[in-house]
Chain A
Amino acid sequence: MPINTLVQNVRATPQHYSYPSIFIYGHRASGKSHVLHILMKELELPHAAVSCVECVSAALLYERVLTSFFGRSAASFLPRSPSLSEFVRLYRHQRSQSPAEQTRYIVMEKAELLRDADANLLPALLRLQELVDDNITVILLSEIVWEKFRPNTGCFEPLLLHFPDYSKGELQQILSTDSHPSYSAELYSSYINILLGVFYSVCRDLRELRHLAALNFNKFCEPLTEGKVKETETHKLWRNIEPHLKKAMQTVYIREVSSLQWEQMQQTEDEGGALRGLSAHTHVELPYYSKFLLIAAYLASYNPARTDKRFFVKHHGKIRKTNFLKKNEKTSNHLLGPKPFALDRLLAIFYSVVDSRVAPTASIFSQISSLVTLQLLTQISHTDQLDAPKYKCSISLDFISAVSRTVNFDIVKYLYDFL
């Protein structure tokens, strides 16, 4: 356990030297800052807590450090825009007046922002103990691994400690601690159990899970407050909450609506209502020919070129089931993802799909560009190549089925995978 190593290093001998720099990395909400702050507070170690998000300029950092260790008067000696040289000189001067009796710590959060500061700041901080000749240790906390921090010509390598993410059992334990006052702890922990069962595979972030738990708890307790179900009948509660959790899955991490709006939506909806996704795509309205262009693009992406003749030419011959069928038997085109197609092919399919005669005017071509802007199509070729651009269709089957339904076009009939 990395915490043990940290504690042993820090607690045992405060007046002895500690390793000049320690780098702690781990996922978001894995307890890095929390553990460190508790440690500093409980053991009453002299430390300077610095958040690199706040200290946008190095001067703020120097001021913070000097104030924490030597008081506000020391920081006032810093000149207008201090360089690292001046900071070190000032620190040495202060240190000669009040040397460290025990190890001083500088705890820097969001340390990845140090990479964007001056190139000399990070290497200097890593060997600060040597530069100022004092018993000081710099602790860097970050979500990014150390390999991405290392400068080109190398630097003083810190001690690397990893804070592992919480396991499912640990998450259950932690989440169950903030239980609602009016309900029993067992009810809440069974609720957390259900929640984790649904969300653990997509989200392990503690903060996000706490947000979800708080958001959906009222819905969970609805049958209890209405008196329909007793506390012990967890099966009925599970059946009630399950569809709502599945719907909430689409909003994990994405705050498309605020929490208040979400709760209101929960209340106004009736029990057996259709699960409408919050995704913006279902509300896109396209002009008539754009829809056909989109359909043609989807067909071009997901049908192999060989089969075009069969689908779109009026009198086709028999399609020969050659070896290529055996190779692609296992994987359908839908699982392989969209394939790129040339503009000519798109237009050929478009003309055969559209029922009326369409003149190849500029407005048709500009609609293709608009589809690219809407991110429904993706342009593969370089923007410089004007004569043979290639595109790829980036929408899902559900979306295209919805679109083709609005123009009374049966897309499934034209897809090779559904033959």
Chain B
Amino acid sequence: MSKRKVKDVHLPTGECITQLQQVLRERFCHQRLPEKPEGVEAQHKNLLELLRRTAVHGESNSLLIVGPRGAGKTTLLRCALRDLLQDKDVNKNLLQVHLNGLLQTDDRIALKEITRQLHLENVVGDKVFGSFAENLAFLLEALKKGDRSSSRPALFVLDEFDLFAHHKNQTLLYNLLDVSQSAQAPVAVVGLTCRLDVMELLEKRVKSRFSHRQILLLSSLSFPQYQQRIQAQLSLTDAFPDAHFAEEWNSSIKTLCEDKSAQDVFRRQFHFSTDFRSLHTLLVFCLSRVTVSKPVIKAADVLEASRLCLCDAKANMLHGNSFNFELHKDSIYWPFSFPVVLQLEI
């Protein structure tokens, strides 16, 4: 009975539009995690399995997720973590340290960040350590559970992994991977990088301690699949409060995706790049034209958005320059130099 009541809820159009904008903007701008990973099920299963082995069975692992920009590496990892943390035991025990190559530009800063994220500032206090390895060993020792028999499993996520490889001596990488190889504590090291040749950047001693496990996210979508995904991205789910509005919206999206000119735009986008980040740019432009008076996305919006996205920046700037080169009709033989033209103009 209650379900039926929910279905009959009708919100005023303004409210609907606001809700719609919220949902879609979170999807496009904030990269909200999808319910189920689409197109990367195998990789997701692989990653989840690996993380579970560390978290539950105490096995140390290292892994690299490699894919071009916008391929969905962070999304994949976050989905896997979300699914992993649904288990209560894991949630209680697993320690997470998230490092980013852009932020932690130095090993010293990285170590401070690790200390902070493990909440061990008080324990470390003012101790002075001889080397990085000592410091790390101390931290991991401090993570041992109450009965001193086993350590808590720790997950180290290294975003922009290739930037860590540029640190001096690659100390952090060496030590983390060393810990993951020796039996000190169950540690999982997951690196995310956009460089496909990241293995070349690692030193020999670091490379040998790495397990050479890589998850590649290279998209192999065909155009019909791409189109379906676009439709799915723009559609509203059942969770939307006003079901009637959601139905209307979804059907308008379906019409849009069948429109010829919109399809051309999507095809061009597909040939340009199959990752969804550049698509989101296009869709944000379309979305910003949705108002209360016009609660649909029309093909004209898509065309206009495409024009904005694909305009040539240099040509635009050239238009504003004050020299109008009136080309001679046989201008292919035009050997005039720029200072000469300057004199001619003035």
| Chain A interface residues toward B at CB < 8 A | 2, 5, 8-9, 12-13, 16-20, 25-27, 30, 83-85, 88-89, 118, 120, 123-124, 129-131, 145-147, 153-157, 159-162, 164-165, 200-204, 249, 331, 334-337, 396
Contacts and interface: CB of A to CB of B under 8 A. Distances in A.
Contacts of B225: none
B123 interface: no
A84 B313 contact: no
Nearest to A127: B102
Contacts, number: 129
B293 interface: no
Contact of B311 (A27, A120, A162, A249): A162
B195 A204 contact: no
A147 B314 CA distance: 9
B194 A154 contact: yes
A129 B340 contact: no
23 contacts: A9-B284, A12-B288, A16-B25, A19-B29, A25-B317, A26-B320, A27-B320, A83-B105, A83-B106, A88-B103, A89-B116, A129-B29, A153-B162, A154-B194, A155-B69, A159-B284, A160-B313, A164-B320, A201-B345, A202-B345, A331-B336, A335-B336, A337-B340
B327 interface: no
Contacts of A146: 313
Given A85-B113, A160-B313, A162-B313, A17 B337 contact: no
B103 A85 contact: yes
Interface residues of B, number: 55
B33 to A, nearest CB: 13
B343 interface: yes
A12 B19 CA distance: 12
B219 interface: no
Contacts of A85: 103-105, 109, 112-113
A201 B322 CA distance: 6
Contacts of A9: 284, 288
Given A8-B289, A145-B313, A337-B339, A16 B102 contact: no
A13 B25 contact: yes
Contacts of A19: 28-29, 281, 284
Interface string B213-237: 0000000000000000000000000
Contact of B346 (A155, A157, A162, A202): A202
3 A-B pairs closest in CB distance: A165-B320, A145-B313, A337-B337
A205 to B, nearest CB: 8
B45 to A, nearest CB: 25
Contact of A147 (B29, B109, B313): B313
B163 interface: yes
A5 B337 CA distance: 41
B256 to A, nearest CB: 19
B278 A157 contact: yes
B291 interface: yes
Nearest to A13: B21
Interface in B97-151: 100-106, 109, 112-113, 116
Contacts of B162: 153
Contacts of B249: none
